[in-house]
Structure 1
Amino acid sequence: MQLSYWELKNWFTNIDYTIVGSGIVGLHCALNLRERFPESKILILEKGILPQGASTKNAGFACFGSLSEIIDDLKNHTEEEVIQLIEKRWRGLQLLRKNLGDSAIDFKPYGGYELFLKDDESTYNECLQKLPFINEIIKPLFKTDVFAKEVDRFDFKNIQEYLIFNPFEGQIDTGNMMQALLKKAISENIMILNHANVSSFSDKNSNVEIVVNDYSFETKKLLFATNGFASQLTNNAVKPARAQVLITEPISNLDIKGTFHLDKGYYYFRNIDNRILLGGGRNLDFEGETTTDLSQTEKIQNKLEALLKNVILPNQDFQIAHRWSGIMGIGNSKNPIVSQLSENVYCGVRLGGMGVAIGSLVGKELAELI
C-alpha cells in the first residue's frame, strides 16, 4: 500500500487509540474514549464496507432473553450469573436509548412474545411451571412481574394455547441505529477507515505496531471490538456463530406487531415495514454454523420458510424478498470478555447474540480499561 505524505500525516501518525471493528462495541468504545480524552487521536479500522459482523445485520430486537432462554441459561450458569446477565442487557439497552435517542433508532415498545410449537410440549410446560419463579428472581430489577401468559391473538398455527408476553421488550431499526452511531463518531472527530484489514500486530511495550493491508503503523493503544471474528487475531475463547435471516415482501393488512421468540431463542421474528423478518436455525447444524462465512444454507432457509408457511403466516400468501447472514460471537459462557491482553492491547468481545442489548455497555467497559 503506497501512501502519500498527507495520508501518513493525517491518518497514520501520532495515533493514541486504534480500535478494530466499527460495530456497536467499537463505536461506543471510541465515543467513550473521546469523552475521557478530548484531545486524543482515535482511529477505527473496519475490514468491510460496513461493519462485518452482526451490528448492521441483526434483527433489531431490544430484548434481554425469552423465558425459555433464561430457564435454559439457569442450567449452565448460577442464578446470580443469570440475573447479572439480564441486568447488564437491560442497562445496556437503556444506555443505547439514552446515547442515541428513541427517535434516532426508531425504538418501538411493542413488547415481546414467546410461542411454543405443538410438538414442544415439554418446553411449554416447563415455562408455564417456572414462570412465577423467574418473575420472582428478576422482580428486584424491573419492580414488577415481567412474563405473563396471553392467548394468541395473531392467528398463528400449530402452536400451544398460550404465548408468553414481556412488556419490557421492544424493537429498533438496526440501520438507523448504526447510521446514528457513525454520524456521532464522525462529529466527535473519530476517524473511520473501511476496507482496512488488520493481518497482525505486535505490542512493543511503548506502543503497538499494526499491519493493515500490508502497511504497518504505530499506535499507543490497540482495542479489539471484533466479536465473532475475535479468535482470528486475539486467540480468545470466542467461536463465530452464523445467524441466517430472511425478510418477506410487504404484506397487505399485516396484523403482527412485536418481537417474537421460538425454541429457546433459536428462532426469532418481527414486523418491519409491513414485512416479516425471520431468522435463526443455528440449532439445526451447530457445527456447520460455527463459521465466518456470510452465505446461507438450503437446510436452514427451508426451515425458516416452513415456519413462515405453517406457523407465522399460515393463511397468507407471501414472497421472500431478501436473505442474508450475520456473525455473532459465542463461547462456553454468555458473559462477554472485556480484558487486557498485554501492556497496550485490550478486547471487548463474545456478546453471545445480545449485541444490541450489551454492545453499548461492553464498548464503555472496554474504554474504561484504559
Structure 2
Amino acid sequence: MNLSYWEYKTWLSNIDFTIVGSGIVGLNCAMSLRIKYPKARILVLEKGILPQGASTKNAGFACFGSLSEILSDLKINTPEEVVDLVQKRLDGIQALRENLGDTNIGYQQLGGHELFLEKDMELYDISMSKIEEINEVLFPVFKDNAFSVSRNIFNFLNINEKYITHKFEGQINTGSMMQFLLSKVLQSNITILNGITVEQFAENREHVEVKTNRFHFKTKQLFIATNGFSASLVKEKVRPARAQVLITRPIKNLHIKGNFHLEEGFYYFRNIEDRILLGGGRNLDFKGEETTDFGSTAIIQEKLETLLRETVLPRNSFEIDQRWSGIMGVGSVKKPIIKAVSSRVYCGVRLGGMGVAIGSFVGKELASMYSKS
C-alpha cells in the first residue's frame, strides 16, 4: 500500500502503544492505557471490518459456569483455582456493567439453567447431589447460594423434569455492547484502523517494527489481543476453537426466557426477544473445529436443528434466520495467558470461551503489563 507522507505522519508516526485486535480485550486494554497515559498515542489494529473472532459473534451469556462444568473443572484444578476463575468472571462482568452501563449493553439478569437430557441420568444424578457442596465452594464469590433446583416451567421435552438454576447469571446484547465500547474508545482519541492484518514484528532496543498486509510502522509497545488467532504472532499454548451458532426467525408468543446449558456447556441457547439463539456442538468434531476458518458444517448444524425440534421448541414451528460462527481461544486449562512476551511485547489471550465474562479483566491486566515491565 503506497501511503503518503500525510497518512504516515497523521496515523502511523510516534506511536506509543499498538494493540492488535479490537475485541473486548483489545478495546479494554486501549481504554486502560488511555486512563493511565492520557497523552499517549494509541493505535488499535483490526483485521476485520468489525471486530473479528468472537467478540461480536458470541451468544451474549454473562455466565460463570454451569454446575456440571464446575464439577468438570474441579477434576483438573484445585478448589482454590476454580474459585479464582469464577471470581474473575464475576469481576469481569461487574466491570463491563460499570464501565458501559446495563442499558447500553442490554443486560438482563434472567438466570441460567442447566438442562439434562434423559440419556444423561448419571450426570444428572451426580450434579443434583453436588449442589450443596458447590454452593459452599463458591459462597466466597457470590456471598449467597448460587445454584438451586427448578422445575421444567418452559416445557422442554426429552430432558429430566428438573434442572439446576444459577440465579446470578445474565445475558447481554453483544452488538450493543461492542458498539458502545467502540464509541467510547474513539471518543478517547484512540485510533482504530480496520482491515489491517499484522503479519510479523521485530523488536529492537528502542521500538517494535510491525509489518502488516498494508504498511510497515514502528511502535514503542505492542499488545497482542487476538485470542484464538494468536498462534500466528506469539508462541503460547492457545488453540483456536470454532463455535457454530444459529438463530430462528421471530416465534409468536415465545415464552422461553433466560440462558440454558446442556451437556456440560457444549450446547447453549437463550432467547433474544422473540427468537431462540442456539449454539455449540464442538464436541461432535473437536479436531475439525480446531480452526481459524469461519463457516459451518452439516454435522453440527443438523444436531443444533435436532435439539431445537426435539427439545427446545417441540411444540412450535420455526424457521432458521441466520447461521454464523466465532473463533475462541482455548487450552488445556481454563486460565487466560496474560504476560510479557519480551521487553516491549505483551499478550492477553486464551479466554476459554468466557470472553464476555473475563474480557474486561484480561484487557485491564494486559495494559498493566507495561507498567510492571
Contact 2:20 2:225 (C-alpha < 8 Å) held by counterparts: yes
Q: Which residue of 2 aligns with 1:101?
A: 101
Question: Secondary structure in 2 aligned to 1:342?
Answer: coil
Q: Given the alignment of the two structures, is residue 153 of structure 1 paired with residue 150 of structure 2, yes or no?
A: no
How far apart, in 2, do the equivalents of 1:334 and 1:10 lie?
A: 41
Runs of 4+ in 1 over 6 A off after TM superposition: none
Question: Secondary structure in 1 aligned to 2:91?
Answer: helix
Question: Secondary structure in 2 aligned to 1:22?
Answer: coil
Structure 1 segment 56-205 matched on structure 2, within 5 A: 56-205=56-205
How far apart, in 2, do the equivalents of 1:43 and 1:181 lie?
A: 15
Q: Given the alignment of the two structures, is residue 318 of structure 1 paired with residue 295 of structure 2, yes or no?
A: no
How far apart, in 2, do the equivalents of 1:50 and 1:140 lie?
A: 38
- Cα-to-partner distance string for 1:11-59 (whole Å, 9 max, x where unaligned): 1100000000000000000000000000000000000111110000000
Structure 1 segment 208-357 matched on structure 2, within 5 A: 208-357=208-357
Amino acid at match of 1:22: S
Residue 205 (structure 1) shift: 2.3
Question: Secondary structure in 1 aligned to 2:233?
Answer: helix
Question: Secondary structure in 2 aligned to 1:86?
Answer: helix
How far apart, in 2, do the equivalents of 1:140 and 1:210 lie?
A: 44
**Mean Cα displacement is larger for which, 278-287 or 206-215?**
206-215
Amino acid at match of 2:222: L
Residue 4 (structure 1) shift: 1.1
Amino acid at match of 2:220: K
Amino acid at match of 2:107: F
Superposition TM-score, scaled by structure 1 size: 0.99
How far apart, in 2, do the equivalents of 1:205 and 1:234 lie?
A: 19
Question: Secondary structure in 1 aligned to 2:186?
Answer: helix
How far apart, in 1, do the equivalents of 2:215 and 2:181 lie?
A: 28
Q: Which residue of 2 aligns with 1:41?
A: 41
Question: Secondary structure in 1 aligned to 2:34?
Answer: helix
Residue 215 (structure 1) shift: 1.9
Q: Given the alignment of the two structures, is residue 13 of structure 1 paired with residue 13 of structure 2, yes or no?
A: yes
Residue 273 (structure 1) shift: 2.5
5+ residue gaps, structure 2? none
Contact 2:329 2:349 (C-alpha < 8 Å) held by counterparts: yes
- Cα-to-partner distance string for 1:217-263 (whole Å, 9 max, x where unaligned): 10000000000001111111100000000000000000000011111
Question: Secondary structure in 1 aligned to 2:53?
Answer: coil
How far apart, in 1, do the equivalents of 2:141 and 2:174 lie?
A: 26
Question: Secondary structure in 1 aligned to 2:369?
Answer: coil
**How many pairs are equivalent?**
370
Question: Secondary structure in 1 aligned to 2:68?
Answer: helix
Residue 109 (structure 1) shift: 0.8
5+ residue gaps, structure 1? none
Residue 214 (structure 1) shift: 4.6
Q: Given the alignment of the two structures, is residue 24 of structure 1 paired with residue 24 of structure 2, yes or no?
A: yes
Question: Secondary structure in 1 aligned to 2:40?
Answer: coil
Amino acid at match of 1:103: T
Question: Secondary structure in 1 aligned to 2:364?
Answer: helix
Superposition TM-score, scaled by structure 2 size: 0.99
Question: Secondary structure in 2 aligned to 1:230?
Answer: helix
- Cα-to-partner distance string for 1:312-337 (whole Å, 9 max, x where unaligned): 00011000000000000000111100
Residue 185 (structure 1) shift: 0.1
How far apart, in 1, do the equivalents of 2:271 and 2:4 lie?
A: 48
How far apart, in 2, do the equivalents of 1:228 and 1:158 lie?
A: 34
* Identical pairs, percent: 59
Contact 2:196 2:214 (C-alpha < 8 Å) held by counterparts: no
